[in-house]
């Protein structure tokens, strides 16, 4: 069994030397052994003080002081503490969305003229931010195959600052072998930033593999119920956390306390959900691989995400997503319900076949975010949709 040595243990758990992730998710946000079982929702924009010196001292103080909710809030802090503990980080910053967390990290750590190295297949929103930083601030990005860490030395420039990876790439579900590229990046003085949204800390903790920053769209598995947007950035050390926190407060992508509370509530069942997602996905991946409508290439990620290529290409993909009845046609992922999408006709519809291929996506690639429903119901649904294609 994997156990964690949480760098930021929940007060309720400090007597335990090492805690399994499945236990940590249940208790990590709690404030202590006594008091409310559920983290209270501090639905307030600000905090009142007794005198001028006290409020001035709190304003000048660290991120530990609660003055104004954009700077910090006890409910949001409970979420940050929990995700930092789960990822084995020193501290975390929660945001209003995954893109809020990613943008805060990139805008805080990069300066005009810096250079970024990034893996080829990235979530489209991250790709757009990098393109914009290039156009507007001269921050260029070189895309490389993270499976060949040798490419890092070749692509590196004197102004290279940051290496950006995804543990499981969206939408290809390709798994990145993190230790090798992160070690190569570190050897060249690059900060290692890893988007761990699709794996969750239950499957992978990138800081253990050398990452400096881990970014989550908590909209996905951490919250897990398709009802709340959120993001979290976790930092291996407090100095980096402080540097990003200062700017994140200015950028203002702070989560609402109720959104943080919903995320904490979802987080508590992360371990049982990930087990169900993973078991269902593995079973469906095996059956899909044997189906005649599915091409030879099958990209089965770990966790609950899988993608597969339909032999009939773009038109087959479009027909397939229109034919499923139980799986729902939606762009998000990581919720309890199964979601299906066809990147070539939805999220990546602006790319031609050649550009899709460069990102490792086929024109007939279908992405499934496998939920926790009964797997035989899911297979019947996928089977009836596939039968229309052969
Ligand atoms: C890997 C990954 N990172 C970041 C994001 C952005 O997250 P959000 O939609 O919460 O802003 C997503 C959203 O799909 C994603 O899949």
The string of DSSP letters for 166-225 reads ESB-TTT-PBP-THHHHHHHHHTT-EEEEE-TTT-TTT--GGGGT-SEEEEETTTTTT-S
Q: Which of 114, 195, 300, 381 is catalytic?
A: 195
Domain's final residue, options 268, 299, 324: 268
Strand partners, 299: 307
Residue nearest to atom 7 of ligand 1 (CA): 98
Whether residue 163 is found in the same domain as residue 105: yes
pLDDT (0 to 100) of residue 15: 47
Within a domain: 2: no
Strand partners, 117: 142, 163
Does residue 235 sit in helix, strand or coil?
Answer: strand
For 149-170, write each residue's pLDDT tens digit: 889 999 999 999 999 999 998 8
CATH code, domain carrying 321: 3.90.1150.10
Cβ atoms of residues 119 and 169 within 8 Å: yes
Cβ atoms of residues 337 and 370 within 8 Å: no
Within a domain: 240: yes
CA nearest neighbour of 236 among 110, 84, 29: 84
For 317-339, write each residue's pLDDT tens digit: 999 999 999 999 998 999 999 99
For this structure, is 221 an active site residue? no
Question: Residue 346 CB: number of other CB atoms within 10 A?
Answer: 16
- The per-residue DSSP string of 250-318 comes to HHT-PPPHHHHHHHHHHHTTHHHHHHHHHHHHHHHHHHHHT-TTEEEEEEE-STTEEEEEETTHHHHHH
Distance CA 338, CA 320 (A): 15
For 237-288, write each residue's pLDDT tens digit: 999 999 999 999 999 999 999 999 999 999 999 999 999 999 999 999 999 9
Whether residue 148 is found in the same domain as residue 234: yes
Distance CA 194, CA 215 (A): 6
Whether residue 194 is found in the same domain as residue 69: yes
Range of the domain at 90: 11-268
- Indicate the pTM of the whole model: 0.92
Report the separation in Å between the CA atom of 97 and the middle of ligand 1, taken as the mean of its atom positions: 8
Q: Is 78 in the pocket of ligand 1 (CB under 6 A)?
A: no
For this structure, is 195 an active site residue? yes
Q: Is 364 in the pocket of ligand 1 (CB under 6 A)?
A: no
Distance CA 273, CA 13 (A): 22
């Amino acid at each position: 069994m994997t156990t964690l040595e949480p760098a930021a243990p929940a007060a309720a758990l400090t007597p335990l030397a090492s805690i399994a992730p499945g236990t940590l998710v249940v208790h990590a946000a709690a404030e202590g052994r006594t008091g409310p079982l559920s983290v209270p929702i501090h639905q307030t924009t600000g905090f009142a003080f007794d005198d001028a010196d006290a409020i001035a001292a709190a304003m000048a103080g660290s991120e530990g002081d609660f003055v104004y909710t954009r700077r910090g809030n006890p409910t949001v802090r409970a979420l940050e503490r929990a995700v930092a503990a789960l990822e084995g980080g020193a501290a975390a910053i929660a945001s209003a969305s995954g893109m809020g967390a990613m943008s805060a990290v990139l805008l805080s750590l990069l300066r005009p003229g810096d250079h970024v190295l990034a893996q080829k297949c990235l979530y489209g929103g991250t790709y757009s931010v990098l393109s914009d930083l290039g156009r507007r601030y001269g921050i260029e990005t070189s895309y490389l195959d993270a499976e060949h860490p040798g490419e890092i030395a070749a692509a590196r420039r004197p102004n290279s600052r940051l290496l950006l990876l995804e543990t499981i790439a969206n939408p290809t579900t390709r798994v990145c072998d993190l230790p090798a590229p992160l070690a190569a990046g570190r050897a060249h003085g690059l900060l290692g930033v890893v988007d761990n949204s699709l794996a969750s800390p239950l499957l992978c903790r990138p800081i253990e593999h050398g990452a400096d920053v881990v970014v989550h769209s908590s909209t996905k598995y951490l919250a897990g119920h398709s009802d709340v947007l959120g993001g979290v950035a976790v930092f291996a050390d407090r100095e980096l956390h402080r540097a990003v926190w200062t700017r994140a407060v200015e950028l203002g992508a702070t989560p609402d306390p109720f959104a943080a509370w919903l995320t904490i509530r979802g987080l508590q069942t992360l371990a049982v959900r990930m087990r169900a997602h993973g078991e269902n996905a593995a079973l469906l991946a095996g059956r899909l691989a044997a189906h005649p409508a599915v091409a030879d290439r099958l990209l089965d990620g770990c966790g609950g995400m899988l993608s597969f290529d339909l032999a009939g290409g773009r038109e087959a993909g479009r027909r397939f997503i229109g034919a499923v009845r139980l799986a729902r046609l939606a762009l998000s992922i990581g919720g309890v319900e199964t979601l299906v999408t066809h990147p070539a006709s939805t999220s990546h519809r602006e790319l031609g076949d050649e550009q899709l291929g460069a990102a490792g996506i086929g024109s007939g690639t279908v992405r499934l975010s496998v939920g926790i429903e009964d797997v035989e119901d899911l297979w019947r649904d996928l089977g009836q949709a596939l039968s229309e294609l052969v």
